Amino acid sequence: MKWEILYICELSATAENSSEMLRKELTVIRKQLTDSNYEKEKYNSSNKELREYVKRIEGDKREQGRGLEEAYQKISSKCAVTAVFT
């Protein structure tokens, strides 16, 4: 009977140690998950900023193209008018 009590106490101590190790491991994993979520959010934010920047640059480029086309047409129409009068 005595050895049974000792065995149960031993099992209880082993279970407590295992439980404590699992708690510590869970804490570490939660921290890693928090860190990875933070990194993911940071990259998503950075990617969003980059996409917005690219859209803005593309819009500026289109506007510049339109402006150049308008200027080219004005120059062409003035050259055509000048050619008619000469």
pLDDT tens, position by position, 53-62: 999 999 999 9
CA distance 13 to 20: 10
Residue 83: predicted pLDDT: 55
**Residues of the chain below pLDDT 70:** 1-2, 6-7, 80-86
> Could you please report the per-residue DSSP string of 17-86?
HHHHHHHHHHHHHHHHHHHHHHHHHHHHHHHHHHHHHHHHHHHHHHHHHHHHHHHHHHHHHHHHHHHHH-
